[in-house]
A and B are shown apart, each in its own frame.
Chain A
């Protein structure tokens, strides 16, 4: 069954049809939320909120790209959460070791000796990219995730962020420029072909 038919049935109250749409898009929504937050718990909450909100407001979907509509919902959910964090900064709870001392970050607990060298370097590079994404302005971050990570074109991205295509172009160029400057600080992690000369 195609997407439009599933949407129409879901609008009629068919929960199974909507859940098939959820199954088709949950990876994309979760990935977008994860790149926006840089951590799993908030991404999980934002994804859950997105699909509940999408189901409750499915009647407001007037056609077009369902993917862009979902990304707009999850982007707004991320904006709300990030604004809330900005008003009330919190310190994330770090896991404790056997002696009761805090472990700085769970993903640093992975023993590098157990992994091949290139895999270690790839993971560290991903962390570096995520670090640079986290330090982008929220609007730039959402745009560059949509276009460069989710693979959307400018029109879809403009629909997803609710701004004109010119705004998408501008935000994307500035985001790429900042990311380039940020990643230059992790030159040792970059593959040889990616290092700045």
Chain B
């Protein structure tokens, strides 16, 4: 029988007891109470319950809760400090997500890196154009000086399978690193022009010293090559040409460093003079691990022919071992840095979550 009344009926009965009904609702309810004894009974029971509650004695405070100066200045628990905890958690979570995205994004990019590291057609075209310009400039230059044959005579010895001399080892180790750093700083468009000026000068006068370049300021990094312990002008030429070769390759496509190197390698080769040909044979000695060192020395003319018509199959095995080491080391260094950042962010996020949980207690 009690279930015949809805919650609205009880709401009206409760408000009726407290005299909180409007005139219209009150009149309507009173008419219903006259006709419905069950509704009257519900009203009486609710009234008894209400009376029981009102019969409870008023409890007096056991003590006075006066505020003194010390209490009023005391902060309310730790609540003010904990207001920043959610912000810490949110910031840490965002940082964690971003760093994880960076790490995995880098991994995803590295999986697609072989496609991007392949020699770009534009780079090949540019290298061919540079070769043509070199041919034109060499054609207009004077025949090589006496220093050139010295280089040519030394080249087979350096390119032979025999262990290189100590001076060359020092030159290799010193040349590789600073050249790469300088190349990344140069604008890609300007580098071939600078390189062409250097190459043309060297083909005209192979006896010119690198100090001249340093003083002129056209190629500041060549001052480093002057430190190469070489005793003859031909060694100066070797040092400048060796450093110039990777310079061009890295600036053509700075992202894919190891694939652009072959395009730059044949750059000095079109010159008919023997000096550039010898530098070609010296290139493997400057790049550690190049397989060209083991090849039997060829005549200058053959080297010119081989270098003038380079094919990707010839150049790729010569460059990948040497540059892959540097690229992998750099990649692992960046990856380790990113992982350490992600680890810090995750730890910070965990701490923030712990603080948040403790704040809720």
- A residues apposed to B, CB below 8 Å: 15, 18-19, 22-23, 26-27, 29-31, 34-35, 40, 44, 47-49, 51-53, 55-56, 84, 87-88, 125-126, 129, 144, 147-149, 151, 153-154, 165, 169-170, 172-174, 176-177, 179-180, 183, 190, 193-194, 196
Distance in angstroms between the alpha carbons of A64 and B13 in the assembled complex: 29
Among candidates B14, B58, B72, residue contacting A15 with C-beta atoms closer than 8 Å: B72
- Asked if B18 is at the interface of the complex by the 8 Å CB criterion, the answer is yes
Distance from B172 Cβ to chain A, minimum over Cβ atoms (Å): 68
Are A15 and B46 closer than 8 Å at their CB atoms?
no
Across-interface contacts of B46 in A (CB, < 8 A) = 176-177, 180
Are A34 and B59 closer than 8 Å at their CB atoms?
yes
Are A30 and B62 closer than 8 Å at their CB atoms?
yes
Known contacts A26-B65, A180-B45, A129 near B361 by CB under 8 Å: no
Are B67 and A15 closer than 8 Å at their CB atoms?
yes
Are B64 and A56 closer than 8 Å at their CB atoms?
no
Among candidates B58, B60, B71, residue contacting A52 with C-beta atoms closer than 8 Å: B71
Distance in angstroms between the alpha carbons of A98 and B345 in the assembled complex: 56
Distance in angstroms between the alpha carbons of A193 and B52 in the assembled complex: 11
Across-interface contacts of A87 in B (CB, < 8 A) = 360-361
Among candidates A52, A169, A174, A194, residue contacting B67 with C-beta atoms closer than 8 Å: A52
Are A173 and B62 closer than 8 Å at their CB atoms?
no
Known contacts A27-B59, A31-B59, A173-B15, A55 near B53 by CB under 8 Å: no
Among candidates B53, B54, B66, B361, residue contacting A22 with C-beta atoms closer than 8 Å: B66
Across-interface contacts of A30 in B (CB, < 8 A) = 59-62, 65
Are B50 and A44 closer than 8 Å at their CB atoms?
no
Are A179 and B49 closer than 8 Å at their CB atoms?
yes
Among candidates B20, B54, B61, B69, residue contacting A169 with C-beta atoms closer than 8 Å: B20
Distance in angstroms between the alpha carbons of A125 and B49 in the assembled complex: 12
Chain B residues with a Cβ closer than 8 Å to the other chain, count? 37
Are A129 and B52 closer than 8 Å at their CB atoms?
yes
Among candidates B7, B45, B66, B76, residue contacting A173 with C-beta atoms closer than 8 Å: B7
Among candidates B11, B48, B58, B71, residue contacting A170 with C-beta atoms closer than 8 Å: B11
Can you report 24 A-B residue pairs in the complex whose CB atoms are below 8 A from each other?
A15-B68, A15-B69, A23-B64, A31-B59, A31-B61, A35-B56, A49-B76, A55-B67, A87-B360, A87-B361, A125-B52, A147-B18, A148-B50, A154-B20, A169-B11, A169-B14, A169-B15, A173-B7, A176-B10, A179-B52, A179-B53, A180-B45, A183-B52, A194-B52
Among candidates A35, A51, A84, A170, residue contacting B361 with C-beta atoms closer than 8 Å: A84
Q: Across the A-B interface, how many residue pairs have beta carbons closer than 8 Å?
A: 117
Residue of B nearest to A147 (CB): B18
Bits for B1-33, please: 1 = Cβ < 8 Å to A, else 0: 000000100110111001010000000000000
Among candidates B48, B74, B361, residue contacting A194 with C-beta atoms closer than 8 Å: B48
Across-interface contacts of B71 in A (CB, < 8 A) = 52
Across-interface contacts of B13 in A (CB, < 8 A) = 173
Distance from A195 Cβ to chain B, minimum over Cβ atoms (Å): 9
Known contacts A148-B50, A154-B20, A180-B49, A174 near B59 by CB under 8 Å: no
Across-interface contacts of A148 in B (CB, < 8 A) = 50, 53-54
Distance in angstroms between the alpha carbons of A101 and B115 in the assembled complex: 80
Bits for B67-100, please: 1 = Cβ < 8 Å to A, else 0: 1110110101000000000000000000000000
Are A144 and B57 closer than 8 Å at their CB atoms?
no
Distance in angstroms between the alpha carbons of A23 and B57 in the assembled complex: 19
Are B67 and A173 closer than 8 Å at their CB atoms?
no
Are A47 and B57 closer than 8 Å at their CB atoms?
no
Distance in angstroms between the alpha carbons of A172 and B49 in the assembled complex: 12
Are A26 and B53 closer than 8 Å at their CB atoms?
no
Knowing that A23-B66, A176-B46 touch, tell me 14 more A-B residue pairs with CB under 8 angstroms. A15-B67, A15-B68, A27-B58, A47-B65, A51-B65, A53-B76, A84-B361, A170-B11, A173-B10, A173-B13, A173-B14, A176-B10, A194-B51, A194-B52
- For the complex of A and B, 10 pairs with smallest distance between CB atoms: A173-B14, A148-B53, A30-B61, A173-B11, A31-B59, A180-B49, A26-B61, A19-B66, A173-B10, A51-B65
